[in-house]
Amino acid sequence: MDEDIQKLRDDYINLEFDEVSFDLDGERMAMYGKCCGEQDPRFTDPSHEDFQAPPTFVSTLVGGRHLPKDMPVPAGVGMDAGKYVEWMAPIRAGHSLIGKSHIHDIYTKTGRSGRMIFFVTRMELFDGDQHVANADTRTVFREKPSA
């Protein structure tokens, strides 16, 4: 493990840095399902008795910040390198979710174009006291090789 990455891990992993509230709108949930090709009315029809968001909907919930305010990151724009969803319970229209974000992992990959640093931000989503999902976003910064 590179020394600078180990320091970032020591300083920031598991540190909660953001908390936001989401009011869940049934029309938005249904439109996401339809645009993505869902056909089951439980994902596309807000009047269905078991209407719920497709599990991947939680990836659309964006917190106030992707990374801690004071965390040093490489120069340049971070790119969205991937998303992971862990589903635990249905996401229901009309409910409010609380999203709490922390850095879940920091790691690197090195290729011909230099080192890439990946930050995994995990948003834990709660409906009242119930933990309903985790939504991870991987952000990658590509370092330029030194001349």
Partner 1 sequence: MPDSTPRTVNVLSDVEFGEELPSFEPDVSLDNVKLHGKFVGWGTGRFTDHEQAKKEGFPGAIVPGVMSQGFLGAMIHRWAPTATITAIDTIFRAPVMVDQPHRITGVVTDIDEEAGTVEIDISITNEKEETRVFGTATAKLPK
Given the rule CB under 8 A, which residues bind partner 1?
27-28, 31-33, 35-40, 43, 54-57, 59-60, 62, 80-88, 138
E strands of 24-67, at which residues? Answer: none
* 108 Cβ contact partners less than 8 Å away, ≥ 6 residues apart: 2, 5, 115, 116, 117, 118
Query: What is the closest distance, in whole angstroms, from the C-beta atom of residue 6 to partner 1 in the complex?
Result: 24
Query: What is the closest distance, in whole angstroms, from the C-beta atom of residue 74 to partner 1 in the complex?
Result: 18
- 54 vs 99 by CB, closer to partner 1: 54
- 18 vs 38 by CB, closer to partner 1: 38
Query: What is the closest distance, in whole angstroms, from the C-beta atom of residue 81 to partner 1 in the complex?
Result: 6
- 11 vs 63 by CB, closer to partner 1: 63
Distance CA 130, CA 97 (A): 10
**Between the CA of residue 33 and those of 10, 52, 83, 87, 111, what are the distances in Å?**
39, 10, 17, 16, 37
Query: What is the closest distance, in whole angstroms, from the C-beta atom of residue 30 to partner 1 in the complex?
Result: 9
- 15 vs 62 by CB, closer to partner 1: 62
Distance CA 107, CA 10 (A): 12
Q: Judging by DSSP bridges, how do beta strands 96-111 and 79-87 pair with one another? A: unpaired
